[in-house]
Every structure is written in structure tokens, then in C-alpha cells.
Amino acid sequence: MNNFVFTCGDINGIGPEITLKALNKLYRRRSSKFIFICPENVFLQTIKKVRVNFRYKIIDSKEFFDFNDVIIFNIGNAKQQTGFPTAESGDAAFNAIKLSFELADVGIADGIITAPISKTALKLAGINFPGHTEMYAKWSKRKDYAMTFLSAKMNAALMTIHEPVKNISRLINEDLISAKFDLLLDMLKKDLRISSPKIAVLGLNPHAGENGFIGSEEEEIIKPVINRKKYSKNFFGTFSPDAFFANRLYSNYDMVLGMYHDQVLIPFKLLNFGMGVNYTAGLPIVRTSPDHGTAFDIAGKNKADESSILQAFSYAEKIVNNRKINERK
């Protein structure tokens, strides 16, 4: 039996709505039990529009979990201003995320599915994290981790995450590349059970540097790591991103590794929007999330589609089970 935690995300966005819609479809699964971390007043307000078909119990302590019902873990009431990021919504989102980590850290939760948050709201609340990935990595005390994106059409990963474009070139070095290569190989083999992964590596510069004429990073930094004996059977490139995606070469590989955020996220979301999943690789905990944002424009209107958060649960369940198989070996 696996226990899964859902966080509310930004309470002024669609997070509570899509989570309840997902739980309506998941709660009868005999192999899983569910905890939803959310302010009690937000939960009660949301179920006025999203009618729930599961039994639930509202608690506010880690001391008692009655898994005959879906557990609603109350983190205290929080003022809602539907459709807008606020300091209070950022604070509630952060508190839910922190509690989810604590539940995983003590073994109560096997996997975490996080609803979308607003970086603006976090900033308004004085919380100095750019996103979920960095929070869970810091609390897990892991320096080597990767933001990855999973789907039936393409798996992808980022060399750098939430970095201004002007900083990317100076951040990419052989140590970072080799650490990401090691992490992705381990993740693909253990978490997704791909025995001999093939990973495409995109170039940093236009035309992947054009043999050094449009930038030297490919020839001087990236390719030397790819060509190491340790990696040469699993990593291929560097590829010119425009031609790579135009020719659908991603279908030939188990994962695509890009150098920066939009290089990977634009094609991934074009292929998978609403069905893709964000997964933080390299952590002791399993954490996934939908590939979309808070959708403030439709918040509170009962129009949000829960497909992506259902996919996030499916991948979390798959990875949790794969890790347990590896532990038994």
C-alpha cells in the first residue's frame, strides 16, 4: 500500500480544484491512500463547486491518520482572492509544500504530487525559492538534482533550471555536465527501468555552435564529456535544437537533455500540454507535478482540466513502485 500526498498549490489558482477532481477519480484505488494538504476553509469552499464523491476526514496533526477516508490535512485558514497571487496564497502554498516534505521524510508519504504555485506569490510572501525543485532539493540536502519532464511522447531534462539567459553560458562546465549525466543515467535505469538509456544532448548555441564558429561551448565543454568512455554509449550529440525537433528526432531517444529552460519546455509543452509531468530527479523523495501553471484566469470557475495532475500521480506511482522493486533486489 502506498500513501500519496497532494499539495494545494496556490490557493487562488486552480490547484485545489484539479486536486479534488483527481481524487474523485483516484480514491477507490485499493493500492493507494491519499492525503490532501490544504487550508480547511479553502477545501470547504472548493467542494461547493467541485462535488466530491469520496469520504474525507479533516485533521491538523501528524499524530493520527485514519486511512479509511481521504485525509484533508488542514494547515490553517487562509484568505482567498481567487484569480490573483497574494502574499497569503504564497505563504499557504509554501506551508503545504514544507509539510509534504516532512511527511515524506518520516515515511508517512511514499510520493508527493504538487499542484501549481505562483512565483510572484512566493516573492510577495518573502519566500526566497524560485520553485518546487529547489525547495525539495535543499530540504533533502542534495546538490545534484535535475528538473525533468516526462510524457509518452518525449522525456526531457534541463542542464540549468530557473536561470536568466545571460548567466547560462558561464554556469555550464564539465563538472556540472558529468554530474547531470550520472544522475540521469541512474534515474532512467532505476526510476523508469530503462536498462540501456539513449540520451540526446542539445547544443547551447544556434546550430550547436557550427563547429565553433557560433560559440565554443559545444566543442570545448559539452562534447568532451559526451565522448568520455563512461558516457559515449548512452549520450549523443550535440544536436542543433531547431533541426532536432523539426525532424522529430526525440522519438529516437529515451530522454532529451537541454541546456536551458525554454529550449526544452517550449517543444515539450507543444507536444504534451495538459498531459506532461514535471519530475524532480535525484532526490530521495518522489515528487511530481502537472506541466501547467496556476491558470488564475479560470480559477474558481470549475473549468480546469485535471488530466495533467492525474498523469503526475501515474508517474509518481510508477516511480515509487520501481524504487521498491530496486530495493528488493
Q: Where are the beta strands (DSSP E) in 232-282?
A: 235-239, 255-258, 277-281
Q: What is the pLDDT of residues 260-313, one digit of tens each?
A: 999 999 999 999 877 889 999 999 999 999 988 999 999 999 999 999 999 999
Q: What is the pLDDT of residue 287?
A: 97
pLDDT tier, 1 (very low <50, low <70, confident <90, very high otherwise): confident
pLDDT tier, 161 (very low <50, low <70, confident <90, very high otherwise): confident
Indicate whether 8 pLDDT > 80.
Answer: yes
Indicate whether 90 pLDDT > 70.
Answer: yes
Tell me whether domains 1-141 and 143-282 share a fold.
yes
CA angle centred on 145, ends 140 and 148, rounded to 5°: 120
Q: What is the pLDDT of residue 168?
A: 93
Q: What is the pLDDT of residue 63?
A: 67
The interaxial angle of helices 307-328 and 174-190, nearest 10 deg, is 80
Check if the beta carbon of residue 76 is closer than 8 Å to that of residue 61: no
pTM, whole model, 2 decimals? 0.91
Give the CATH H-level superfamily of domain 1-141.
Isopropylmalate Dehydrogenase (3.40.718.10)
Q: What is the pLDDT of residue 130?
A: 83
Domain ranges in the chain are 1-141, 143-282
pLDDT tier, 329 (very low <50, low <70, confident <90, very high otherwise): low
Integer Cα distance of 101 and 59 in angstroms: 17
Check if the beta carbon of residue 11 is closer than 8 Å to that of residue 84: no
Q: Average the pLDDT over 201-212 and give the result.
A: 90
Q: What is the pLDDT of residue 272?
A: 86
The interaxial angle of helices 307-328 and 15-26, nearest 10 deg, is 60
pLDDT tier, 98 (very low <50, low <70, confident <90, very high otherwise): very high
Task: Provide the residue count of the chain.
Answer: 329
Indicate whether 76 pLDDT > 70.
Answer: yes
Q: What is the pLDDT of residues 18-64, one digit of tens each?
A: 999 999 999 888 789 999 999 999 999 999 999 999 999 999 877 66
Q: What is the pLDDT of residues 62-73, one digit of tens each?
A: 766 777 789 999
Q: What is the pLDDT of residue 155?
A: 97
Number of other residues whose CB lies within 10 A of the CB of residue 251: 8
Q: What is the CATH number of domain 143-282?
A: 3.40.718.10
The residues pairing with 71 across neighbouring beta strands, listed in sequence order, are 35, 57
Q: What is the pLDDT of residue 43?
A: 98
Q: What is the pLDDT of residue 316?
A: 97
Residues 107/102/285/308 CA torsion (nearest 10 deg): 110
Using CA atoms, how far residue 308 sits from 106, 151, 225, in Å, is 28, 10, 35
Check if the beta carbon of residue 3 is closer than 8 Å to that of residue 286: no
Q: What is the pLDDT of residue 64?
A: 66
The 8-class DSSP code of residue 34 comes to E
Look at residue 112 and give its three-state secondary structure.
Answer: strand
Average pLDDT, the chain: 94
pLDDT tier, 199 (very low <50, low <70, confident <90, very high otherwise): very high
Under 8 Å CB-to-CB from 5, ≥6 apart: which residues? 34, 35, 36, 37, 100, 103, 104, 109, 111, 112, 113
Q: What is the pLDDT of residue 61?
A: 79
Under 8 Å CB-to-CB from 171, ≥6 apart: which residues? 160, 163
